């Protein structure tokens, strides 16, 4: 785990069957689950990543500056590109490659639009910065 990270209440980060690597300024919110598949998949989270409440991130790679919304599911062998939002409740099915700079939503998740600079600053960066501030309240 890198610097300036926070793992919130009732979260499970279960690296018992394979490795989990977490970059800098990552927040994993209440009730989220990070897990891998034995001898097959690992979890890698880049920098400035927010994992929303009750999300499941399983055996996948998430690049820098990503917001995974509340209740979203990201399955094995997915790759989430930088500057991307996975919408709340989305299900990113096994092996999906999400390109950088877009929003994916739905079940199964599909690209709904390209992301704007306003959303990168107003959502991805804002949420990561807020959770950095919130974690300071517990130190």
What is the chain's mean pLDDT, rounded? 97
Give the dihedral of Cα atoms 6, 24, 112, 91; nearest 10 deg. -50
- 119 vs 139: CA distance, rounded Å: 30
pLDDT digits (tens, 9 = 90+) for 7-16: 999 999 999 9
pLDDT of residue 32: 98
- pLDDT tens-digit readout, 116-134: 988 888 899 999 999 999 9
> For the chain, which domains are there?
6-136 (2.160.10.10)
- pLDDT attached to residue 139: 80
pLDDT tens readout for residues 30-64: 999 999 999 999 999 999 999 999 999 999 999 99
**Residue reference for tokens 């807020």:** 130
Tell me how far apart the alpha carbons of residues 77 and 65 are, in angstroms, rounded to a whole number. 19
The structure's pTM equals 0.96
| 3-class secondary structure, 117 | helix
Start-end of H helices in the chain: 117-119, 126-136
What percentage of residues in the chain have a pLDDT greater than 70?
100
Q: What is the pLDDT of residue 129?
A: 95
Confidence of residue 74 (pLDDT cuts 50, 70, 90): very high
Write down the pLDDT at residue 9: 97
* Rg of the chain, C-alpha, whole Å: 14
Strands (E), the chain: 6-7, 12-14, 20-22, 27-28, 33-35, 43-45, 49-51, 56-58, 61-62, 66-68, 73-74, 79-80, 84-86, 91-92, 97-98, 102-105, 110-114
């Amino acid at each position: 785990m890198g610097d300036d990270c926070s793992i919130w209440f009732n979260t499970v980060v279960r690296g018992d069957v394979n490795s989990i690597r977490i970059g800098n300024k990552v927040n994993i919110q209440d009730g989220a689950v990070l897990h891998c598949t034995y001898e097959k998949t690992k979890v890698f989270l880049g920098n400035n990543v927010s994992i929303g409440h009750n999300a499941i991130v399983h055996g996948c790679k998430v690049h820098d500056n990503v917001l995974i919304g509340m209740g979203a599911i990201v399955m094995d062998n997915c790759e989430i590109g930088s500057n991307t939002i996975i919408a709340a409740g989305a299900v990113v099915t096994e092996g999906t490659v999400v390109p950088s700079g877009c929003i994916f939503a739905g079940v199964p998740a599909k690209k709904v639009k390209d992301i704007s600079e306003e959303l990168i600053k107003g959502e991805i960066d804002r949420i990561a910065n807020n959770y950095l501030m919130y974690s300071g309240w517990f130190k």
